[in-house]
Structure 1
Amino acid sequence: MKLTAATVDKMQPTDKRQEIPDALCTGLYFVVQPTGKKGWQVRYRHGGTHRRMTLGAYPVLSLSEARQRARDALAAASEGRDPAGEVKDAKAAKKPDADRDKLSNVIDLFMKRHASRNRRGDDVLAMFRREIMDKWGDRDIHSITKRDVIDVLDGIVDRGSPVTANRLRAHLNTLFNWAKGRDIIEVNAMDGVRPPAPEKPRNRVLTDDEIRLFWNACDGLGYPFGPIYRLLLLTGQRLREVAEMTWREIDGDTWTLPEARSKNADEHTVPLSQDAQALLAGLPRIGGRYVFTTTGNSPVSGFTRAKERVDKLMAEASDDPIPAFTIHDLRRTAATGMAGLRFPPHVVEAILNHRSGTRRGVAGVYNRHDYADEKRAALDAWARYVTQLVEDEPGNIVRIGGR
Structure 2
Amino acid sequence: MPLTATEVKQAKPEGKPRKLADGGGLHLLIQPSGAKYWRYKYRYGGKEKTLALGVYPEVSLKEARDAHQQARKQLSNGIDPGAAKKVEKLTRHLAAAESFEAVAREWYTQKMPEKSESYRVRTGRILEKDLYPVLGNRPIADVTAPELLAALRRIEARGANDIAHRAKQTAGQVFRFAVATGRAERDPSADLKGALKPKGQKKHHAAITDPRELGRLLVAIDGFEGTPIVKAALRLSPLLFQRPGELRAMEWAEINWDESRWEIPADKMKMGQPHIVPLCSQALALLRDLHPLTGRGRYVFPSARGASRCLSDNAVRVALRTIGYGKDQITPHGFRATARTILDELLGYRVDWIEHQLAHAVKDANGRAYNRTAHLEGRAKMMQGWADYLDNLKAQAMAGNVITAKFGN
Distance 1:152 1:230, change over 3 A: farther
In 2, Cα distance between equivalents of 1:382 and 1:243: 21
For residues 325 and 158 of structure 1, the distance between their equivalents in structure 2, rounded to whole angstroms, comes to 30
User: Which residue number in structure 1 is paired with residue 387 of structure 2?
Assistant: 383
Alignment match, 2:253: 248
- In structure 2, what is the Cα distance between the partners aligned to 1:61 and 1:137? 33
Shift of residue 348, structure 1, vs aligned partner: 0.8
Aligned residue number for residue 37 of structure 1: none
The 8 Å contact of residues 221 and 310 in structure 1, kept in 2 or not, is answered as yes
- Secondary structure in 2 aligned to 1:291? coil
Counterpart of 2:35 in 1: which secondary structure? strand
Q: Which residue of 1 aligns with 2:138?
A: 140
1:173 alignment partner in structure 2:
172
Instruction: Name the structure 2 match of 1:122.
Output: 120
User: Structure 1 residue 362 and structure 2 residue 366: aligned?
Assistant: yes
- Which residue in the other structure is 2:287 paired with? 280
Contact 1:246/1:290 (CA < 8 Å) preserved in 2?
yes
Aligned to 1:50: 34
Q: How big is each residue's C-alpha offset from its partner over 1:97-151, in whole Å with a ceiling of 9 and x where there is no partner? A: 2420233321221123444444566245433355336624751343655445444
Q: Percent identity?
A: 20
The match for 2:76 is: none
- Listed as ranges, the gaps of 5+ residues in structure 1 are 12-17, 29-40, 72-82
Secondary structure of the residue that 2:343 maps to in structure 1? helix
Matched residue, 1:350:
356
Task: String of CA shifts for 1:335-390, please: whole Å, max 9, x gaps.
Answer: 2222132212122123223342xx52338689998433432332233334445556
- 2:33 corresponds to 1:26: no
Is the CA contact 2:134–2:151 (under 8 Å) kept in the aligned structure 1? no
Letter in 2 for 1:99: A
State which drifts further: 364-373 or 254-263. 364-373
CA contact (8 A) 2:392 2:403 kept: no
Q: Give, as a single letter, the amino acid of the residue that structure 1 aligns with 2:247.
A: V
> 1:75 matched to which residue of 2?
none
Distance in 1 separating the partners of 2:231 and 2:154: 32
Rounded to whole Å, the distance in 2 between the matches of 1:218 and 1:168 is 43
CA distance in 2: counterparts of 1:366 and 1:247, whole angstroms: 26
Report the alpha carbon displacement of residue 87 of structure 1 after superposing the two structures with TM: 12
1:270 paired with 2:277, answer yes
* SS at 2:310 equivalent: coil
Residue of structure 2 equivalent to 1:257 = 264
Q: Indicate whether 1:300 and 2:332 are aligned.
A: no
What SS does the aligned partner of 2:167 have? helix
Quote the offset at 1:206 in angstroms. 0.7
Q: Secondary structure at the match of 1:234?
A: helix
- Pairing 1:97–2:83 present: no
Alpha-carbon distance in structure 2 between the residues aligned to 1:226 and 1:156 = 38
- Cα distance in 1, alignment partners of residues 312 and 240 from structure 2: 21
Give the AA of the match of 2:297.
G
Which residue does 1:341 correspond to in 2? 347
The residue number in structure 2 matching 1:198 is: 199
Q: Is the 8 A contact 1:124 1:171 kept in 2?
A: no
Q: 1:364 to 1:396 in 2, by over 3 A?
A: farther
Name the residue aligned to 2:66.
Answer: 65
Q: What does residue 34 of structure 1 align with? A: none
- TM-score (normalizing by structure 1): 0.66
SS across alignment from 2:276: strand
**What SS does the corresponding residue of 2:190 show, helix, strand or coil?**
coil
Q: Secondary structure at the match of 2:104?
A: helix
Across the two proteins, how many residue pairs are aligned to each other?
355
Match of 1:349, SS state, is: helix
Name the CA distance, whole Å, in 1 between partners of 2:87 and 2:224: 60
Tell me, yes or no, if the aligned pair for 1:287 and 1:297 is still in contact at 8 Å.
Answer: no
C-alpha change, 1:377 and 1:160, in structure 2 (3 Å) is farther
Q: Which has the higher contact order (CA 8 A, sep 6+)?
A: 2
The code of the aligned residue for 2:99 comes to: K
CA contact (8 A) 2:131 2:167 kept: no
